């Protein structure tokens, strides 16, 4: 497992300059607002570090994407991020958060979740929609038609450290979500807004239904332009231990892996749990590529236990053929594996015990019934002990190691 603190130290988490009121001109841009094609010599652009709202995962001043199937907790993840930003723990201590949600109700879903996560609700604004004429109805805001008003609203509440758009497809308006050019046109304006304000724009999207083996970057719904335009993309998937492994908390866990990061190194996948309406990150990181999670073939194992180690040890040892039980136990002990753990691993891989002469063996190969003694008791129980004249340890094993 990678040390999270050391990783975080590799990323600049200081407030984005725009959040502090530093104008683009001071950051190196020489654009004076004149009409025409804007271009400058590269010497006029100063080096500027990437500023991270979430180290290595959510960049300030950029468009970021979070993708996943419905019902996996993407909105819990964004609300937890919003809660921390509202308290000034990330971003800027004086900035606010803006939330757009077309799927969750602010009264029975969003506000209760934010309160559960100890958010400062005074620093969070929820966009209900847009009223286009006096006394008219409140319509859904669309980024193609209403961008100028949306931008002005953000500037009116400056500084804004986080803008959540959930899901991005609901706010595309007449722009075709499957058309690269139209998607890029909308996201390009969001990118300009992010850079101008220093806000981390986090767009939430669903996955398409194609599980034919495509890489994770091709699994987001709609045009590839969504993932291409975003500077970071994360994937939320179920936590499903590999068959044969167990984790009693698996149903509460979600894996968040990095699909792409154009601004820094790819970080390990990590895990959060949802309990009592609260999203909590736990100390588990997984060095597995997002592509392993994107196509319904989750290969993630539960946190490795001694039994897992013993299973790997026995599989490697017995694949070479039957081994004397005493030797198996001695070699296992040299690797810190107890007899009880080796017995559990033996049950897990369906290995068998048999006796030839006075020597007991463990094997994964079948033997004829005259020589084979299979485990005939329930998993976890011991097989009959050896001859009564041989000493036994306190677990019921005899000295020749027969279980």
In three-state secondary structure terms, 138 is strand
| Measured distance CA(403)–CA(339) in Å, rounded | 9
| Measured distance CA(403)–CA(384) in Å, rounded | 7
Contacts of 349 (CB under 8 A, 6+ apart): 311, 314, 315, 318, 364
- Tokens encoding 115: 């309160």
What pLDDT does 292 receive?
56
pTM of the predicted model as reported, rounded to 2 decimal places: 0.69
What pLDDT does 35 receive?
82
Q: Which positions of the chain have pLDDT values less than 50?
A: 1-6, 25-30, 296-303, 367-403
| Measured distance CA(154)–CA(193) in Å, rounded | 9
| Cα–Cα separations (whole angstroms), residue 187 to 16, 158, 180, 184, 342 | 20, 20, 10, 5, 56
| Measured distance CA(115)–CA(121) in Å, rounded | 8
Closest CA to 126 of 111, 147, 142, 116: 111
How many Cα atoms are found within 13 Å in the side-chain-facing hemisphere of 86? 24
What pLDDT does 397 receive?
37
What pLDDT does 371 receive?
43
- Tokens encoding 292: 């392993």
| Cα–Cα separations (whole angstroms), residue 146 to 36, 130, 149, 164, 174 | 24, 8, 6, 17, 11
| Domains along the chain with CATH numbers | 4-292 (3.40.50.300), 304-403 (no CATH)
| Measured distance CA(360)–CA(324) in Å, rounded | 6
Closest CA to 311 of 349, 366, 277: 349
Angle at 346 between CA 342 and CA 350, to 5 degrees: 170
Using the structure block, give the residue that is written with the tokens 């939320």. Answer: 236
What pLDDT does 383 receive?
38
In three-state secondary structure terms, 193 is helix
| Measured distance CA(379)–CA(77) in Å, rounded | 39
Cis, bond preceding 272 (omega within 30 deg of 0): no
Q: What is the DSSP string of 39-92?
A: ---GGGSPP---BEEETTTEETTSEEEEEE-TTSSHHHHHHHHHHHHHTTSSS-
Sign, Cα dihedral of 181, 187, 192, 193: positive
């Amino acid at each position: 497992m990678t040390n999270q603190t050391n990783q975080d130290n590799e990323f600049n988490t200081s407030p984005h300059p725009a959040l502090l009121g530093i104008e683009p001109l001071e950051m190196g841009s020489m654009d004076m607002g004149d009409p025409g094609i804007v271009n400058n010599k590269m010497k006029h652009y100063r080096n500027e570090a990437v500023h991270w709202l979430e180290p290595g995962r959510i960049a300030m001043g950029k468009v970021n994407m979070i993708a996943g199937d419905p019902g996996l907790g993407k909105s819990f993840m964004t609300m937890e991020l919003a809660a921390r930003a509202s308290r000034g723990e990330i971003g800027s201590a004086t900035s606010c958060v803006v939330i757009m949600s077309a799927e969750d109700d602010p009264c029975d879903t969003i506000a209760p979740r934010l309160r559960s996560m100890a958010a400062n609700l005074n620093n969070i604004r929820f966009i209900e929609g847009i009223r286009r004429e006096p006394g008219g109805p409140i319509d859904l805001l669309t980024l193609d038609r209403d961008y100028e008003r949306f931008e002005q609203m953000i500037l009116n509440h400056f500084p804004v450290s986080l803008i959540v758009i959930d899901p991005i497809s609901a706010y595309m308006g007449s722009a075709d979500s499957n058309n690269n050019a139209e998607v890029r046109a909308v996201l390009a304006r969001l990118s300009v807004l992010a850079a101008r304000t220093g806000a981390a724009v986090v767009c939430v999207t669903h996955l398409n239904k194609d599980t034919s083996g495509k890489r994770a970057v091709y699994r987001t719904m709609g045009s590839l332009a969504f993932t291409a335009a975003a500077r970071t993309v994360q994937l939320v998937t179920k936590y499903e231990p590999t068959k044969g492994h167990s984790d009693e908390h698996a149903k509460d866990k979600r894996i968040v892996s990095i699909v792409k990061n154009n601004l820094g190194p790819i970080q390990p996948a990590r895990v959060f749990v949802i309990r009592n309406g609260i999203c909590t990150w736990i100390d588990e990181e997984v060095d597995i590529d997002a592509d392993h999670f994107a196509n319904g073939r989750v290969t993630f194992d539960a946190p490795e236990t001694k039994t897992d180690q013993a299973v790997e040890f026995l599989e490697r040892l017995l694949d070479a053929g039957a081994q004397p039980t005493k030797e198996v136990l001695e070699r296992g002990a040299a690797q810190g594996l107890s007899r009880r753990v080796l017995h559990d691993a033996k049950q897990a891989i369906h290995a068998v015990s048999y006796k030839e002469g006075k020597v007991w063996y463990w094997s994964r190969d079948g033997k004829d019934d005259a020589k084979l003694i299979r485990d005939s008791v329930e998993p976890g129980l011991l097989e009959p002990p050896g001859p009564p004249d041989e000493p036994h340890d306190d677990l019921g094993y005899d000295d020749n190691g027969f279980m």
